[in-house]
Structure 1
Amino acid sequence: MLFNGRASIALCTLAQLLLTEVQAIPVVPKPDIDQSPAEKRQVRPVQPITIIDPATRIPVDPVTRIPVDPITFEPVTRIPITLQTIGTFETVGTIGTVGTIGVTRPTFATLSVPSAEYTTPIQYTTPIQYTTPIQYTTPNQYTTPNQYTTPPYGYTTPGYTQPTTTRTTTTSSTSTKTSATPSYTPIVGANNTCYNRLKIDILERTDPDQFNMLVLAWAKIQNTPDSDIFGHYQLSGIHGAPYITWQMGPGSYDTSRGYCTHGSNIFTTWHRPYLLALEQSLFHTAIQIASTFTGAAQTQYLAAAGRVRLPYWDWSDPTTQSYLPPITMVSTVTVTQPGIGGNPVSAVISNPLWAYNFQSPSSTAPLAPFNNRQSTRRYPDANWLDRSNLASASMQSGFTGRVTQTYNAFLSSTYNTFSNNVEGIHDAIHGAVSGGGQMGYISVSAFDPIFWLHHCNVDRLMAMFQTYKPNLWIAPAPGVGTFARPSWLGLTDDTNSELYPFRRADGSWWRSTHTTPVSTIWSSKYGYPEVPCSYQTRPASDLQNFAISQINRLYAGNRPSIPATNRDWNVRLLIDQSEIAGGYDIYVYGGTRPSDPYSDPYGKGYVGSLSSMSTGSADAYKQSRIRFVDVSLNAYLKEYGYYGSDTYKITEYITRNLYYTIIANGRPCYFQDLRTAKIAVYSRDVYDNGKSDSLPYYSSSQYYYTNVTERTPGGIKYVDEILYPIKVDGTREIPWAEQNYTRIET
């Protein structure tokens, strides 16, 4: 039976809540699979609401006058979270009360970022005479990254006193802004002709000379001193720890976080100049190394160095199916490098794509919680030995759902929604690759070399979406706090927001507006196989048709050969990211689940997950913000023979066979202990004409199936719980300002 409309809540007349007439499928109350009966805890009884505060017009308890939740009728407080270990309970503590949002605000002076009154970058020697690799013959005229201006004005050396990261106090020193201009190097990428960034395994196989120069260059920048602003240490540190300025002058900074704009509508655009910064360093370093060859080898390797671009790891490619690239899983690699007299010699070196080795204990001192780890690892064992094979297996287990989610991201009706959908996939990959290593922490993930291959693919998807839907772009949305922007300033992020700390050739800040249209990547001298440099002079419609055909070829799966309408099934996982401290994941399992999901969360039955990366400490809370991810159920339903069945059979099946688990900082956590974590199952009609030069589109709004989730811990009972979710402080937020047109169906 189908009903239009959605349940609504009028705060001033709570007693008149509309009852949505839904004929739910009879189900047996579903037990919390994460607890045995002996461990079951009681949920507090519902508090009745009898009055509305005349001053605030908010429902309050008639005795305590404490505001109450309009759906659950419980006091608006943040529920203490109890985490469980095997056989014992460990109480972590109470997560604040009303008015405490995220982390206690650090004490800062008025934000004062460096003035935009910068002169042209005369400090930077750009090898403008280098037009093609063959014409570049005088290496002495090139200024290597190590020879850029000495550590910039206002720079604090690594190994400074680590800022406090407790729940109750986060302090930061502030410096007095001066009128002096810091030295800086503009982020412009390579400075020759446009070359495509390639998939890492294809690059290794088809252009071994370029791959050789890439490896040599990356190895060199990993071995530069920590003070080298274009070395691996400082470039990686821009993202998070060690929370120091990068080419910015004195000012007041939030030293509890890095520059990265996680959870923002400018997440994808901020990473574009960030990737360019590394690519710029790799390119110039490769040129410098190639110049030390002699004779014919110099010509050969200068040409290869001129092609050096940052490669990507396509974790949704149907051929490699999310497995880690083999080159990222071996500790050594054979290269050809200049020997005595510049003659090429073969050598085995530490593989810079496998791990990064820190220079000294002082390098890792500010990198909590890895202060005493001198190298990056994936799935490390007790002896800190790398187990990238487990990371690869975890990634592959989520491939079928991931490729569908990637395809569906291109069907987004707004750029903000696309950015959120891609970031959701991106977050889960960080979790799957980490296994207790650096990739699971916002503060230190960029030190793992695979971070850059991962984010290069995010940039590639962004370029493909820009090509497919050139008229969609960033809409203003609430901003997120970063190192350069304290979060309580009432921030709004839009296309003109400064992408600190990156500057352009004229000294101005990079902004998202500089990353649109898609042709701007060609101006930065790179393209992708789906947005190739060779299309620079061709009509935009040719590029669009080509990109669409590539999206279909890579991610569409078995498309219908004739026009058809299908139903796309998803489960939405949603939470205010500030409700749980540290890092956590909400997992969805279908049909079955691992016997021990806490030690093997990506095992049998894994369908997808919502991941919230730790900022660096299990005690640190993130800025209050609704985050969600849509996990595709299509592949799961096909595997069990239900995809395409009638709605009743599907909803009856997933009611009985979908399972959910929360793991917070390596321990179990439970939905009934959380106020904002929600689960919702919905479907949408998708029309596909089957043509290679067009993509499907949603031909209906969402159908939410409250009967599937209403008896599941964390499941929604009313559709407004997912469309207008409640944050930890009791206010509501519409995530990404979605078009909330929906229907409830049984």
Structure 2
Amino acid sequence: MVSCNWATTALLTLLTLSSSGVHAAPKKYKPDPDQIKEKRQLLQTINTNQPLTRVPITLATIGTIGTIGPTFTRDPATLSTTATLLTLGTLPATRIPVTLQTVATNTLPTLGTLSATRIPATLQTLATTSSTLPVYTPPTTPPGYGYTTPGTTSSSSIRTTTSSTRTSSTSATPTYTPVTGANTTCYNRLKIDVLQRTDPDQFNMLVLAWQKIQASPDSDPFSHYQLSGIHGAPYIPWQMGPGSYDYNRGYCTHGSALFTTWHRPYLLALEQSLFHAAMAIANQFTPTAVRTQYLAAAGRVRLPYWDWSDPVTQSYLPPITMQQTVTVTRPDGSGNPVTATITNPLFAYNFLSSTSVAPFGTPWNTRLSTRRYPDGSWNDRSYLASSSMQSGFTSRVTNTYNAFLSTTYNLFSNRVEGVHDSIHGAVGGGGQMSYVAYSAFDPIFWLHHCNVDRLMAMFQATSPSLFVTPASAVGTFARPVPPNTIDDASTDLFPFRRADGSWYKSSHLHPANTIWGMRYGYPEVPCSYQTRTPAELDTFTTGQVNTLYGGGRTLPGTSREWNVRLLIDQAEIPGGYDIYVYGGTRPQDPYSDPYGKGYIGSLSSMSMGSVDQYKQSRIRFVDVSLNSYLKEYGYGGADPYKITEYIRKDLTYTIIANGKPCYFQDLYTAKYAVYSRDVYDSGKDDVLPYYTSDPYYHLNVTEGYVGGIKYLDEILYPVKVDGSREVPWAEVNSTRIQT
């Protein structure tokens, strides 16, 4: 990691201006200077002769601001930093302390001694020394080898250690189950409300199966408990042999180019568990005709999705996910079909006992059920989650559509992940969905991620030549990575194995038609197209994308797409935080009602599991479309001069960190920028729009405000917390020739 200082700014700016693909907006768009009567703080001069390092900081609720005069010093050996950041006037008493970790570039944070009750003894054995990554030697039996039915596990014991990277060991090679999905024919995964309405037998078997795996013992690797735990807590290996593990994080690849691909076999593992559970239940019916009926329905059981950008249902939570009970047909003790009302497994997951949550951090080790927007008594308020989701629908559908215009797969993945992150925040409201470590325990997590996988399949169909390209690696539970490590299509997607015992890789998941071999499709990438050509699939899926998400198309012709880019090094603030954008009529108190009137979009960074845990240093950004907002307030067809003048005065930003106010002037890496780009739409249903210009960043909108960019290099070569610079997703000339 190379440190930079302000002396490099001129060179970087020169490189920026000379590079193709990005331009500063022509000055003719800049409005005349005027007095802007807003509560936003104006940017003040910073001493540019100092290096770009700032670690520790204090997030303060700022009153009258004095001069900013930072003095930065850095010890190269430790990367620790001290700074005099602000000469403050009157400050309120409430302050949010934030101190960034100082971590050497080749080590992981060190934990204190862990209690022996941290990880259930039946799940994992821990040793204290090793320097190897997880390895597995498959049995020598024929193909299909190693297969064990869901529920098989090995007993073990536990040791404790003071290292955050520890090695597990077992006395024998662990059993494992390849992640292969269902073993019947290919069936489409359906939208949850469509499934409930059009195939009630399959829905019935899905609910019964999910109830069954939620009631399975915690020691069952295909139980809801262990499958959910792969994502984060309780930080235990899942069907893996001895190796070095990072017990600070789960297996998930958030913030990585592998974000979309890793979650595909993850979803497939749950689908496989649901399928087998459904088949077992169907076999319990004794009347032949009834058993035949429900065996056929169980064979169709696939994981449903929640399309949070659907123009019909918009972003409201599916009604079934907010019902505490559900009526089903199930076999009684004699195998006869009976109607019963049961606890709805799609509403919440109830942990089996206090032992289940004992390994979790505070307060999760006392929460015996999942909740959304819980009140002080831990009562569920999913109706607030549904309302919060709907308020962001307009921009969400545009951001989803724009993801399909991406000219690299990595950019597509980042755009979808940005939308995905904001949904976790809007749905969780302080419940499990708001925390990376615990989100997968909430059943709605799986419906949410199934839609992410669906969008991935659709993009693969419409852009078959694009896929994962090398990018900076993100460390996971099974893959602690040193600096400069790269993720690419050949990176192992731990902990998931294929039928031959090898690890899944992203390359195994491309092109789009590989999902059919996993026995599932989507309505937009349907199983019925297995005999069609890739070109025919491209045409069909493109038409579906335009129909579903292209409601604001200008046909035919060129229009301008306006966006605000929000950016931050995710390591600057511990815990979870959000940067919200508002326009027009805004909520009176955005801190208590962040998704109220005027909400346009946000950058969300979920907490890893606690409010004092820092994430790996990495630049994260989100592009929030402004087009719907501009149209709503009468600027949809305005010229760029009027638009930049309007949004410069109107847009405001709010930062909430761990439920408390935070401000741009207290942060070092948080930035926002406004850019526009020309998009041409042929008007053809089977052709996606495409960019006909490079991005134009409108510096006149942001240069006068704290957090707003003044120079292009601030957004193209953003500064990380250690002073180095990162190019998260390189901007390229993306004009495409259509035939």
TM-score bracket relative to the smaller structure: 0.7 to 0.9
Displacement of 1:542 in angstroms is 1.3
Letter in 1 for 2:192: I
Residue among 680, 694, 703 paired with 2:696: 703
**How much has 1:376 moved relative to structure 2?**
0.2
Choose the corresponding residue for 2:344, options 338, 351, 361: 351
Preserved contact between residue 151 and residue 228 of structure 1 (Cα < 8 Å): no
1:88 and 2:80 correspond = no
| Mapped contact 1:102–1:624 kept (Cα < 8 A) | no
Correspondence for 1:150 among 146, 153, 169: 153
Q: Structure 1 regions of 5+ residues with no counterpart?
A: 1-7, 35-39, 53-62, 69-74, 128-142, 164-169
8 Å CA contact 1:578, 1:624 repeated in 2: yes
Q: Aligned to 2:578, which of 585, 590, 593?
A: 585
- The one-letter code of the counterpart of 1:442 is V
Alignment partners' CA distance in 2, 1:402 and 1:625: 24
1:246 alignment partner, one of 238, 247, 266: 238
Q: Which amino acid aligns with 1:212?
A: N
State whether structure 2 residue 532 is matched by structure 1 residue 568.
no
- Paired residues, what number? 681
1:150 to partner: Cα distance:
2.4
Q: Distance in 1 between matches of 2:286 and 2:50?
A: 87
Residue in structure 2 matched with residue 730 of structure 1 by the alignment = 723
DSSP 3-state at the match of 2:559: strand
Normalized against structure 1, the TM-score is what?
A: 0.86
Aligned counterparts of 1:78 and 1:620: Cα–Cα separation in 2: 22
1:26 correspondence with 2:32:
yes
Q: Would the aligned equivalents of 2:309 and 2:549 in 1 still touch at CA under 8 Å?
A: yes
Summarize deviations over 1:612-645 as a string: whole Å, max 9, x none. 0000011110000000000000000010010110
What CA distance in whole angstroms lies between the structure 1 residues aligned with 2:214 and 2:378? 20
1:30 Cα deviation from its structure 2 partner: 5.4
User: CA 1:465/1:506 → structure 2, altered by over 3 Å: closer, same or farther?
Assistant: same
Post-superposition offset of 1:175: 3.0
CA separation of 1:199 and 1:260: change in aligned 2, threshold 3 A: same
Q: Cα offset for 1:543?
A: 1.1
SS, match of residue 610 in structure 1: strand
Deviations 1:469-489 (A, max 9, x none): 000011000100000111325
For the pair 1:636 / 2:629, whether they are aligned, the reply is yes
Q: Is contact 2:5–2:723 with CA below 8 Å preserved after alignment?
A: no
Instruction: Give the Cα separation in 1 of the matches to 2:605 and 2:157.
Output: 30
**Distance in 2 (alpha carbons) for counterparts of 1:171 and 1:98:** 14
Given that 2:100 and 2:614 are in contact with CA atoms closer than 8 Å, whether structure 1 keeps it comes out as no
Matches within 5 A, 1:429-440: 429-440=423-434
For 2:50 and 2:330, the matched residues in 1 are separated by 79
Q: Decide whether aligned partners of structure 1 residues 735 and 619 sit closer, same or farther in structure 2, where only a CA change above 3 A counts.
A: same
Q: Secondary structure at the match of 2:725?
A: coil
Aligned position for 1:473: 467
1:115 aligns with 2:135: yes
Partner residue in 2 for 1:208: 200
* 2:518 is the counterpart of 1:521: no
1:341 aligns with one of 334, 346, 350:
334
Q: For residues 553-591 of structure 1, what are the alpha-carbon distances to aligned partners after superposition, in whole Å with 9 as ceiling and x for unaligned? A: 100004334x20000000000000000010000000011
Measured in 1, the distance between the counterparts of 2:144 and 2:357 equals: 29
The alpha-carbon deviation at position 256 of structure 1 amounts to 0.3
Among all aligned residue pairs of Structure 1 and Structure 2, give the percentage whose two residues are the same amino acid: 65
**Structure 2 gap segments, 5+ residues each:** 18-23, 53-69, 113-127
| Contact 1:77–1:98 (CA under 8 A) maintained in structure 2 | no
SS in 2 for 1:88: coil
| 336-345 or 573-582: bigger deviation | 336-345
- Hey, what does 1:194 align to over in structure 2? 186
- Superposition pairs of residues 735-746 of structure 1, within 5 angstroms: 735-739=728-732
Distance in 1 between residues matched to 2:232 and 2:168, nearest whole Å: 23
What is the distance in 1 between the residues matched to 2:381 and 2:9?
57
The 5 Å alignment of 1:682-721 reads 682-721=675-714
Q: Are the aligned partners of 2:328 and 2:340 in contact in 1 as well (CA < 8 Å)?
A: yes
Give the CA deviation at 1:183.
1.1
Could you say which residue in structure 2 is the equivalent of 1:174? 166
1:331: which partner in 2? 324
The one of 218, 221, 225 aligned to 2:213: 221
Residue 536 of structure 1 aligns with which residue?
A: 530
The change in CA–CA distance for 1:505 and 1:333 in structure 2 (over 3 A counts) is: same
AA matched with 1:376: T
**TM-score w.r.t. structure 2 length?**
0.86
Cα distance in 2 for partners of 1:361, 1:179 equals 29
Deviation of the 1:92 alpha carbon: 1.1
Alignment check: 8 A CA contact 1:100 1:729 kept = no
In the alignment, is the contact (CA less than 8 A) between 1:503 and 1:509 conserved in 2? yes
Alignment partners' CA distance in 2, 1:325 and 1:246: 31
CA distance in 1, matches of 2:713, 2:282: 61
Q: 2:648 aligns with which of 627, 643, 655?
A: 655
Contact 1:120/1:506 (<8 A) preserved: no
- Structure 1 vs Structure 2 CA RMSD: 3.2
Determine whether 1:495 maps to 2:489.
yes
CA distance in 2 between partners of 1:335 and 1:302 (Å)? 15
2:496 counterpart SS class = strand
Tell me how far 1:389 sits from its aligned partner: 0.5
